[in-house]
Structure 1
């Protein structure tokens, strides 16, 4: 049993869909669960539609129509027969999307988000399932909301592992080719939930764990895991082998190739993960598993952008102690603000935070009632694993460094 995951970039158009079929024919279609993301920038488009909905913007209906047309263009390129049931299935999901918006009474953004964005995955997997059938690759399509059960923490749901494993073992035939969606699940009330952005990798890990899979392969538009994002850093190098522990470290600091939650269930059962190029499926790519920490061993570069750097101190210049820190972290948790870096001194406390849920402005106003707060938006957090002097100089060049934090194997730099 193998788990394959194809991201949005790999299925962004008709050519990408055909390439999925090519990869499955090359590797053999049987005994596989294929987890697929929304096509291209569909999730971004649905996020934009949600914003228009809450703004009551007149462009709302046109944005849905534009997204529907983009998917119909892909359908028209893939199917000569315009009566293929793929058209009916896609039309059904867009009707369901419109019905939700018409009937929704909830003002909760996170709830609405989770009911809407999963349509991207449902539509993409439907198109791909019917296309694979049309080229002789029989498969079973599964709605992942009937397989992965979670709590109701919308946009960042926690998996109910017992219920999820029962459902997956009941509905997935290990001898077949099964297609399902990444990123989505459902809660105890059958409302849709999501596992966090880039959660499709995590979905693949969940299926691998529950099915005791032989391995997981994440198919990407790069040759494997590189020691830095080639769109950001020059002269990157392919990492042939990464240990589970090192991969978790890289994911924790924000390496975009592997989702942070993906590796834990795989490590528990020592299921290896491969990251390969969907352009060159024969190439070995990168293996994550037991073995060497890193091969080759060289500096790895990670960057997170558009963060907020905050410094807090007490209003009376007294020590910033455990009680203050506890209170601040309770507020971070309440407002869903993720902390990426912490540094404290006797009288101050500095953090670099992610504004993913757009609650930082509200949080700052609350903090100002009890602390002196200074902040700077739009900063970047650079992390170098296995750093050396040359690597540090490379990152610091032409930047203003606001904070530097150095450990044995890792250095982090907050910069503008």
Structure 2
């Protein structure tokens, strides 16, 4: 069985959905499970609904109606008959969201987030499934929350692999064309959980692992894995092949093409990963597999923006040793900070991190009790894999380097 994953850019409008049908007709669709993200920027729009719930109750209906109108336009462009059952199906999904927001009593933001934001995927897959049936591509719509079972770490749920394996084998008929959602799972109480932003790639890998799939293909709006993000770098090159290890390194450092968690389950069963363009489905793209060298071997550039650099030193000039470092990491864990780079000397400790859960202010208050703290916000972390001096020089131009760290194959620069 093959796993295909289509992201939000590929189904952002009716034209994208029609192109998805074109891709399936071009490359085949037998024994295939399709994982689909929310359309376009709908996840961001659903986040605004959650924000309104906590900050401005009067704004909920307006924020939700904006999302509904977006999908309604897609429906009108796809289906000539407005009496088609899909119109009512989509309407009922939005009624479910409204109902939850009315009866919910939980004050926990992450819990509410997962129950609301996940409807982006439920709506997109419902629409795509109906359109494929309309065009003769008969398929089975699956609720991924019945397949992927997790703990209750809302917004960053951890997979229960044993229960997920059982559920997938029970619910997925591998002889059919199946459509399901990315990003989502459910906990022991059947509340919706999410696997982290951009988690649809991970969903595809989880299902591939449980189904012993022959391959996973991620369909993107780029030709494959590039040596740099074209949104941030002018000149880019297509990497024709890379190893699992190289892909994991690139994902760890923040390459946006592949989700950081995606590679591990694929590597364990040596399932090849293809990254291809949904605009040119017959082109080879990039293959990620076992024991292949990066080709071509060129510097790979990765940038993470809106980072925070914290520099710590002891108040009494004593050494920063194991007990200090363990205490620092405990605080980083407690405040849900994602660490991207660390550097330490005898009396100082620097850490570049991502403040995605907005715990910076409380973290700094705790750190200031025991350390001298210097904090730089809005910095960028550049990583170059397979670097050379020319590649480094291109990044240094016009930037103030706050931290530089070099290894045999990788250089990292925190710049302002």
TM-score normalised by L of structure 2: 0.99
Q: What is the correspondence of 1:101-250 to structure 2 with a 5 Å cutoff?
A: 101-250=101-250
| Cα separation, 1, equivalents of 2:123 and 2:9 | 15
Shift, 1:325, TM fit: 0.6
Q: What is the correspondence of 1:371-386 to structure 2 with a 5 Å cutoff?
A: 371-386=371-386
| Cα separation, 2, equivalents of 1:361 and 1:47 | 22
The answer as to whether partners of 1:33 and 1:178 remain within 8 angstroms in 2 is: yes
2:348 corresponds in structure 1 to 348
Question: How many correspondences in the alignment?
Answer: 416
| Cα separation, 2, equivalents of 1:316 and 1:303 | 36
2:69 corresponds in structure 1 to 69
CA deviations on 1:155-201 (whole Å, 9 max, x unpaired) are: 11110001101111111111100000000000011111011111000
| Cα separation, 2, equivalents of 1:309 and 1:58 | 38
| Cα separation, 2, equivalents of 1:23 and 1:262 | 23
1:320 corresponds in structure 2 to 320
| Cα separation, 2, equivalents of 1:48 and 1:364 | 28
1:275 paired to 2:272: no
| Cα separation, 1, equivalents of 2:115 and 2:362 | 25
| Structure 2 unaligned spans of 5+ | none
1:358 corresponds in structure 2 to 358
What secondary structure sits across from 2:377 in the alignment? Answer: strand
The structure-2 alpha-carbon separation of the partners of 1:56 and 1:196, relative to structure 1 and needing over 3 Å to count, comes to same
The answer as to whether partners of 1:239 and 1:286 remain within 8 angstroms in 2 is: yes
Shift, 1:57, TM fit: 4.9
| Cα separation, 2, equivalents of 1:241 and 1:40 | 28
What secondary structure sits across from 2:411 in the alignment? Answer: strand
1:49 paired to 2:46: no
1:367 paired to 2:367: yes
1:81 corresponds in structure 2 to 81
TM-score normalised by L of structure 1: 0.99
The answer as to whether partners of 1:245 and 1:293 remain within 8 angstroms in 2 is: no
Shift, 1:235, TM fit: 1.2
The answer as to whether partners of 1:5 and 1:200 remain within 8 angstroms in 2 is: yes
| Structure 1 unaligned spans of 5+ | none
CA deviations on 1:259-292 (whole Å, 9 max, x unpaired) are: 0110001011110000000000000000000232
2:18 corresponds in structure 1 to 18
Shift, 1:87, TM fit: 1.0
Shift, 1:47, TM fit: 0.9
1:6 corresponds in structure 2 to 6
CA deviations on 1:298-333 (whole Å, 9 max, x unpaired) are: 100000000100011122221111101101111111
| Cα separation, 2, equivalents of 1:67 and 1:248 | 35
What secondary structure sits across from 2:58 in the alignment? Answer: coil
CA deviations on 1:70-91 (whole Å, 9 max, x unpaired) are: 1000000000011222111111
Shift, 1:60, TM fit: 2.4
CA deviations on 1:345-370 (whole Å, 9 max, x unpaired) are: 11111000101111111111111112
The runs of at least 4 aligned residues of structure 1 exceeding 6 Å deviation read none
The answer as to whether partners of 1:145 and 1:185 remain within 8 angstroms in 2 is: yes
| Cα separation, 1, equivalents of 2:112 and 2:194 | 11
| Cα separation, 2, equivalents of 1:58 and 1:389 | 56
What secondary structure sits across from 1:58 in the alignment? Answer: helix
CA deviations on 1:139-167 (whole Å, 9 max, x unpaired) are: 00011011100011111111000110111
Could you tell which deviates more after superposition, 141-150 or 44-53? Answer: 44-53
Shift, 1:293, TM fit: 2.4
